[in-house]
């Protein structure tokens, strides 16, 4: 790995026209593969950087994790699929430079913003916000420590449930490093970084090394952008007798509900 990537406290660093993932984006299963949250936040950054004809904001993003996103130089391209002054569709593609392999893709819907007073006050009570971080431990399931996205690049504060304990959970999550150096993460980037944790924090099966549950996709709907740095994940995971499952998560900030996120899940025996 490039020494600059190792020393940078960000998820990616630039190398000319390419981007190098850093150790802060690593996933829990393979030290050479990224966590889906790091991939989603990076693709959202690319989508947000696409010029719009009027003031617009992302409303929905679907990330497809086509192959393991390895710790190799990547290129990202954004294409306008449907131009429009009120509703538009974009697509961001993440490609491994060494073999020109597309490893992830994100399709986004963006909608124009306007000063319209349609806001309906919510009577939802914001869940408790704990005073202290939750320590998830460090490293891979084999216990070997290393810097990783889920333990080093984000903070967790569980208001309900607990990581590693099967069942529903509410986890407050804060992205603690920028997506790229020198840029404060946007609310959408913070939401994307948190959204991939739905099936992990509310796992339907134990982390016993005998069961595999992975998400090949991730869909996020936000009716408003998060305020502040913390994103709340009120998550449940479901699984069928066919080995197909899904996570379902209501997303919050410290002022109220902001949207919803879902993952399709593949369950299998190791």
Q: Which helix (H) or strand (E) holds 111?
A: strand 101-112
Residue 247 pLDDT > 80? yes
Is residue 117, in this structure, part of any structural domain at all? no
Return the residue matching tokens 């690049």: 153
Alpha-helical regions (H) of 25-135: 36-48
Phi, psi for residue 201 in degrees, rounded to 5: -75, -20
Is residue 124, in this structure, part of any structural domain at all? no
Largest CA distance in the chain: 53
Domain range for 59: 3-112+136-269
Which of the pair, 31 or 270, is modelled with greater confidence? 31
Token pair in block for residue 247: 């996570």
Residue 205 pLDDT > 50? yes
Handedness of CA 185, 187, 190, 192 (dihedral sign): negative
Is residue 121, in this structure, part of any structural domain at all? no
- Report the C-alpha gap between 44 and 58 in whole angstroms: 9
Q: What does the pLDDT read at residue 120? A: 67
- Report the C-alpha gap between 3 and 102 in whole angstroms: 25
Contacts of residue 154, Cβ cutoff 8 Å, sequence gap at least 6 = 37, 173, 174, 175, 176, 193, 194
- Report the C-alpha gap between 87 and 92 in whole angstroms: 17
Is residue 119, in this structure, part of any structural domain at all? no
Is residue 243, in this structure, part of any structural domain at all? yes
4-29 residue pLDDT tens: 444 468 999 999 999 999 999 999 87
Q: What does the pLDDT read at residue 4? A: 44
Residue 59 belongs to domain with CATH number: 2.40.160.210
CA atoms within 13 A on the CB side of 92: 24
Instruction: Say what the pTM is.
Output: 0.92
Token pair in block for residue 238: 């479901």
29-47 residue pLDDT tens: 788 999 999 999 999 999 9
100-120 residue pLDDT tens: 999 999 999 999 999 887 766
Is residue 230, in this structure, part of any structural domain at all? yes
Q: What mean pLDDT comes out for the span 209-213?
A: 80
Is residue 181, in this structure, part of any structural domain at all? yes
134-187 residue pLDDT tens: 987 654 445 555 789 999 999 999 999 988 888 999 999 999 999 999 999 999
Is residue 201, in this structure, part of any structural domain at all? yes
125-134 residue pLDDT tens: 888 899 999 9
Q: What does the pLDDT read at residue 269? A: 86
Provide the number of structural domains found in the chain: 1
């Amino acid at each position: 790995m490039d020494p600059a990537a190792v020393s940078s406290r960000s998820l990616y660093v630039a190398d000319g026209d390419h981007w190098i993932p850093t150790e802060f984006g690593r996933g829990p299963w393979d030290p050479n593969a990224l966590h889906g949250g790091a991939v989603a936040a990076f693709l959202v950054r690319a989508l947000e950087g696409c010029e719009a004809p009027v003031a617009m904001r992302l409303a929905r993003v679907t990330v497809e994790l086509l192959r393991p996103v390895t710790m190799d130089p990547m290129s990202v391209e954004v294409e306008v699929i449907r131009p429009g002054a009120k509703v538009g569709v974009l697509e961001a593609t993440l490609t491994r430079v060494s073999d020109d392999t597309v490893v992830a893709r994100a399709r986004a819907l963006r909608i124009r913003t306007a000063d319209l007073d349609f806001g309906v006050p919510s009577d939802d009570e914001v869940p408790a916000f704990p005073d202290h971080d939750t320590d998830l431990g460090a490293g891979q399931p084999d216990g070997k420590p290393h810097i990783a996205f889920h333990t080093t690049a984000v903070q967790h504060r569980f208001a309900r449930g607990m990581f590693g304990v099967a069942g529903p959970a509410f986890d407050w999550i804060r992205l603690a490093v920028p997506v790229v150096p020198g840029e404060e993460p946007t609310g959408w980037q913070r939401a994307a970084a948190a959204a991939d944790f739905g099936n992990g924090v509310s796992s339907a099966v134990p982390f016993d090394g005998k069961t595999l549950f992975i998400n090949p996709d991730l869909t996020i709907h936000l009716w408003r952008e998060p305020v502040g740095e913390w994103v709340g994940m009120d998550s449940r995971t479901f699984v069928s007798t066919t080995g197909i499952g899904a996570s379902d998560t209501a997303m919050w900030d410290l002022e109220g509900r902001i949207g919803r996120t879902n993952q399709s899940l593949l369950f299998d025996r190791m």
